[in-house]
Structure 1
Amino acid sequence: MAQPAAAPTLRAMRAVAPGQWALRDPGSPEAARNSCIADTAMLFRLKLRAAPCSRFVIEDTPRIATVHYTCPGSGHVRTTIHVDTPRALRIESEGIVDGMPFADAYEARRLGACGGRGR
């Protein structure tokens, strides 16, 4: 059964801290995009951040978490996060947003606390 999006922290994410994160497409020559992440659960919803969603936990281990979000009227997202270290993550996300399919992969590195320039 789907749970509210504010459900308890997943085991894989317990050591992962909020803060300034650099997100980079693996293998891309483009610079990383920095984001201030106040709640690490939002790393599962890099798309559909503002939409009200329910979630279903598919996998919850100490190093890997997979969650499926259903956001009525906006779409759905299935994200797997591999926790290499509490400061280094691999994020794979796919789904449909506003009727358009997507598949994204990111390398995420925690840079430190959020500063005045966070997004």
Structure 2
Amino acid sequence: MARNRAFLTAAFGAPLAILAAPVVAQASLAMLDSLDKGGWELRFRDGATARKLCVRSGRELIQLRHSGENCNRFVVQDSADEITVQYTCRGNGYGRTHIRKESTSLIQMDSQGIAGGKPFQFTAEARRIGNCD
């Protein structure tokens, strides 16, 4: 019996552990780390006023409508050129942001959710424009 259990663990447990390993590594959001640090400008596709921000880690781009809030994040997609993150900000809504990297200084993004009890949705292009002010 013990020998059968050991065989089953080796036969099925090891491959499952190998399959589970990429899931942990997937949540690294390394694409955001690869972006150039500094001053960036977001140009919204709907014609809204452009917005400037300082990118220090790239993670600032995930929660633009909930910036500065401590929100729980769930990584939906994490590849070398694209990420999708869903987040929930207790008591102040939630969001889902998708970012596609064209280069280390140019990205395309879209985000939607609820902030302050109101829905939001935007599509934007962001590019590095220099140093942080």
Which interval holds the TM-score relative to the shorter structure?
0.7 to 0.9
Contact 1:16 1:86 in 2 (8 A): yes
Structure 1 partner of 2:42: 23
Q: Is 2:85 the counterpart of 1:84?
A: no
Separation of aligned partners in 1, 2:44 and 2:66: 19
Q: Offset of 1:76 from its aligned partner?
A: 0.4
Gaps of 5+ in 2: 1-26
Q: Is 2:60 the counterpart of 1:60?
A: no
2:92 alignment partner, one of 59, 74, 86: 74
Q: Which has the higher contact order (CA 8 A, sep 6+)?
A: 1
Contact 1:51 1:74 in 2 (8 A): no
**Bigger Rg, which one:** 2
Quick check: which one's strand share is greater? 1
Gaps of 5+ in 1: 1-7
* Partner SS, residue 111 of structure 1: strand
Alignment of 1:25-44 (within 5 A): 25-26=44-45, 28=47, 32-44=50-62
Q: Offset of 1:27 from its aligned partner?
A: 6.1
Structure 1 partner of 2:29: 10
Aligned residue pairs, count: 107
Structure 1 partner of 2:131: 113
Contact 2:99 2:108 in 1 (8 A): yes
Counting aligned pairs with the same residue, the percent is 35
Contact 2:46 2:122 in 1 (8 A): no
Quick check: which one's helix share is greater? 2
Q: RMSD of aligned C-alpha atoms?
A: 1.7
Matched letter for residue 103 of structure 1: Q
Contact 2:33 2:58 in 1 (8 A): no
Separation of aligned partners in 2, 1:19 and 1:83: 16
